[in-house]
Structure 1
Amino acid sequence: MSDARTVGLARKLSTFDAVLIGVGSMVGAGIFAAFTPAAAVAGSGLLIGLLIAAGVAFCNATSSAQLAAQYPSSGGTYLYGREQLGAWPGFLAGWGFLIGKTASSAAMALTFAAYAVPPAWQRPAAVVAVLGLALANCFGVTRTAQLTKLIVISVLAILVLAIGLVWTSGAAQPVQLPGNGFFASGWYGILQSAGLLFFAFAGYARIATLGEEVRRPRRSIPRAIVIALAGTAALYGVVAVTLLAVLTPSGVAGTPAPLLRAVEISGADWALPLLRLGAALAALGALLALLAGLGRTALAMARERDLPQWLSAVHPRYQVPRRAELVLAAAICLIVVFADVRNAIGFSSFGVLVYYLVANAAAFRQDSVHRRYPKAIQVLGGLACLILVGTLPWPAVVVGLGVFAVGGGYRLIRLRLSRPAR
């Protein structure tokens, strides 16, 4: 048997597979988690915040696409930062992704359980979901893609049904959209909502982290990133308008499950179990893609010894980073058992914004041979990331800075210990 460390990942994913993985990552996190806190800080101004978040995501997506075409390997911005900016920026991007998305994975597991089982069974169900999906990932990336297709298609069908029921029932009143005015919360509230809603667009990063497993990556990855982002942004816009038209801005802010509440008001109680199923499946889809992205980022970091090199092993038969997948799944299960991180959107947004700040800087440094988009887009994307970080709730910023300080300290200790003795 060959040494697992010498085995590469298998290129089995098509462009369509990559698009569905990106959509699955975003839809679960966004529609069922981000609108409530966004409405709380911006009211109806969340629609403007959504446009801003989509614009920032577009800048970041084009940077990721441009970089992925040059570096079609696992690791995403961790790899791009190392190649274009140096080891430290790459490490900070990878560390922020791992810590932020590990918390997000636990949040998605708990969100799934909240919709699927009674309260007393939620933590055990969340652990089972994490372990089950991690095992599915361990048997090859095609298993991940097939399961993602099933989940995404089911969720989209349920969402279309829910939106259709709300509008045909007459419960949606467009006159309620403005609430107290789109700018009633001021630009700070709007920008804060954009920072929170950006959390919902972060899924396209999963496409780039799978760069070593996509067929014709220089063509497929950029295309998949843009298609997944555009489709998801359109869906978010429709859902946001629907929620505001039924619940009003204060109503969206006042319920943890605004889409369920909107369908309930429409009188279609028979559809509520279906919508709960859709929410549970959406959370599972996001969790599945998060696990895949985390495993590939950990693999890339272990290859460069920024994580224990033991995690760089690739299974010789299934060609997946099985050790990294299982270690991260165990860490997520520990978080699920001992903490409730369903309110970690701000912290996750902090890590993701830093991640994409590095991506924009790396894309800015690319030479003309590999350039697909003007440098102005990367400048705009980088500045927007900095502005949105500044508008996040201060506890999220403090925790985020602390996490990066811990990561930096870990790397300094590792470098000191690995330095040859004189």
Structure 2
Amino acid sequence: MNTVGAPTGAGAMKRRLGVPDAVMIGLGSMIGAGIFAALGPAAGAAGSGLLLALALAAVVAYCNATSSARLAALYPQSGGTYVYGRERLGDFWGYLAGWAFLVGKTASCAAMALTVGSYAWPGQAHAVAVAAVVALTAVNYAGVQKSALLTRVIVAVVLAVLAAVVVTALTSADADAARLDIGSHAPVGGVLQAAGLLFFAFAGYARIATLGEEVRDPARTIPRAIPIALGIALVVYAFVAIAVLSVLGPEKLADAAAPMSDAVRAAGADWLVPVVRVGAAVAALGSLLALILGVSRTTLAMARDRHLPHTLAAIHPRFGVPHRAELLVGTVVAVLAATTDVRGAIGFSSFGVLAYYAVANASARTLTPAEGRPNRLVPVLGMAGCAALAFALPVTTVISGTAVLTLGAAIYGLRKRATSSSSH
């Protein structure tokens, strides 16, 4: 298959990553702080239907991943759905996807920062969150990026901590299989809302699709790596959810600010609590570093295309980073981390990211068989799933998320009108 639009020559990135590398990067983006933060809010919405919600979130994530993989193989360049929407649906839809990504991932940054605070120092969660944002913004400003080796270390640490939680909880005398009701009496709306919140923990697989310029044979590597990473994450999440539910039950889990710590404490393993807190903080810091980096780079790309103020496209002469974009992103995230709670941030993040993937599925639906179109049902189910989960989120989240997307569309229209007027 011929790929479209990939830069060549001196401006092209080196294609070094194979399937194992891409899978590891996807896992590093998914199996991070999301599972440490999202289980509590999801249990509050779904109650005994938590496992059903997890399965539903995984189905929607699979559709989104499949659509994204096929598009990434055709357009092996950085930008993700910002590129796919522009090329398949038109400039406005690419812009709207980019705007939704910025909105959703900025909220993700706040959620990750608050997760650091909740586990590292529960009594001062907001202060720790702001300090983490300031510190990592400074790290990114100096041009120090998270390496592939560091990603592997963080994934290994997080998997070890989660394995310890699972084994401790399931072998505890306090574990009770009766708490694992699969949700036969759970309200449908609650299960949908929980699935939307749990989607937050799956959203990292998009990181693989954005590596189009850096993987070997992207037409084969990306479609293989995304479902493998997603499948591994689902298995891990399922074991963790079962283990935590078995010792806490849905009611206590819903009230837990730090679910993993509460689970091992309930299992009688107080000695493990500091280990879990350190593991969660490491996972959240790793995710936060990558998220701030990604949001600032998307801001840079949209500023270069003048969808955002062009001044944000400036590159620091010494450090070689988009310093104005990074400072803006860091400031906005610090304000959110100081003023919001983790549950609100997760919901808002999920709304923006689900809107982003709705555009990805709509783009995939336009593919022809020769372009690697997925089964027709996949993008249709993906679009419907994204819409259902987004609008099942808490009402305040839906209203604020819709308002921010509408604001983005209005800015696009005003910019388009101003450009048209200046050309006449």
CA distance in 2, matches of 1:78, 1:229: 22
Aligned residues: 414
Match of 2:344, SS?
Answer: coil
| 1:30 and 2:34 correspond | yes
Partner of 2:71: 67
CA distance in 1, matches of 2:263, 2:338: 31
**1:195 and 1:388 in contact (8 A); partners too:** yes
CA RMSD of aligned residues (A): 2.6
Greater displacement, 384-393 / 80-89: 384-393
Give ranges in structure 2 of 5+ residues lacking alignment: 1-9
TM-score under structure 1 length normalisation = 0.89
Letter in 2 for 1:172: A
Greater displacement, 11-20 / 259-268: 11-20
CA distance in 2, matches of 1:10, 1:325: 24
**1:298 and 1:311 in contact (8 A); partners too:** yes
**2:100 and 2:353 in contact (8 A); partners too:** yes
The CA deviation at 1:133 is 3.4
Q: 1:328 to 1:8 in 2, by over 3 A?
A: farther
Letter in 1 for 2:60: V
**1:101 and 1:290 in contact (8 A); partners too:** yes
Match of 2:365, SS?
Answer: helix
CA distance in 2, matches of 1:148, 1:134: 18
Match of 1:219, SS?
Answer: helix
Match of 1:211, SS?
Answer: coil
The CA deviation at 1:50 is 0.8
CA distance in 1, matches of 2:372, 2:158: 36
Partner of 1:45: 49
Aligned residue among 150, 162, 171 for 2:153: 150
| 1:102 and 2:102 correspond | no
Q: 1:116 to 1:222 in 2, by over 3 A?
A: same
Match of 1:95, SS?
Answer: helix
Greater displacement, 242-251 / 138-147: 138-147
**1:194 and 1:388 in contact (8 A); partners too:** yes
The CA deviation at 1:38 is 1.6
| 1:117 and 2:118 correspond | no
Greater displacement, 10-19 / 93-102: 10-19
Letter in 2 for 1:165: T
CA offsets 1:145-165 (integer angstroms, 9 cap, x no match) = 332222221111111112112
Partner of 2:5: none
CA offsets 1:124-161 (integer angstroms, 9 cap, x no match) = 54344334434555676974433222222111111111
| 1:86 and 2:101 correspond | no
Letter in 1 for 2:328: V
The CA deviation at 1:189 is 1.9
**2:26 and 2:229 in contact (8 A); partners too:** yes
Q: 1:134 to 1:8 in 2, by over 3 A?
A: farther
Letter in 1 for 2:233: T
Partner of 1:20: 24
Match of 2:286, SS?
Answer: helix
Partner of 2:227: 226
Letter in 1 for 2:223: P
The CA deviation at 1:392 is 1.4
CA distance in 2, matches of 1:351, 1:414: 22
Letter in 2 for 1:20: M
Q: 1:183 to 1:247 in 2, by over 3 A?
A: same
CA distance in 2, matches of 1:326, 1:216: 35
TM-score under structure 2 length normalisation = 0.89
Q: 1:334 to 1:191 in 2, by over 3 A?
A: closer
Partner of 1:3: none
Match of 2:370, SS?
Answer: coil
Give ranges in structure 1 of 5+ residues lacking alignment: 1-5
Greater displacement, 68-77 / 301-310: 301-310
CA distance in 1, matches of 2:34, 2:146: 24
Partner of 2:3: none
Q: 1:360 to 1:141 in 2, by over 3 A?
A: farther
CA distance in 2, matches of 1:162, 1:210: 32
Q: 1:105 to 1:259 in 2, by over 3 A?
A: same
CA distance in 1, matches of 2:65, 2:297: 19
CA offsets 1:38-85 (integer angstroms, 9 cap, x no match) = 212221211111111101100000001111111111211111100100
Letter in 2 for 1:357: A
The CA deviation at 1:338 is 4.8
Match of 1:347, SS?
Answer: helix
| 1:351 and 2:352 correspond | yes
The CA deviation at 1:340 is 4.3
Q: 1:137 to 1:233 in 2, by over 3 A?
A: farther
CA distance in 2, matches of 1:36, 1:240: 10
Partner of 2:172: 169
The CA deviation at 1:395 is 0.8
Greater displacement, 312-321 / 73-82: 312-321
CA offsets 1:216-260 (integer angstroms, 9 cap, x no match) = 433333333222211111111001111121112222122222221
Match of 2:30, SS?
Answer: helix
CA distance in 2, matches of 1:194, 1:332: 25
CA distance in 2, matches of 1:19, 1:28: 14
CA distance in 2, matches of 1:266, 1:206: 35
Q: 1:68 to 1:141 in 2, by over 3 A?
A: farther
Greater displacement, 151-160 / 8-17: 8-17
Match of 2:368, SS?
Answer: coil
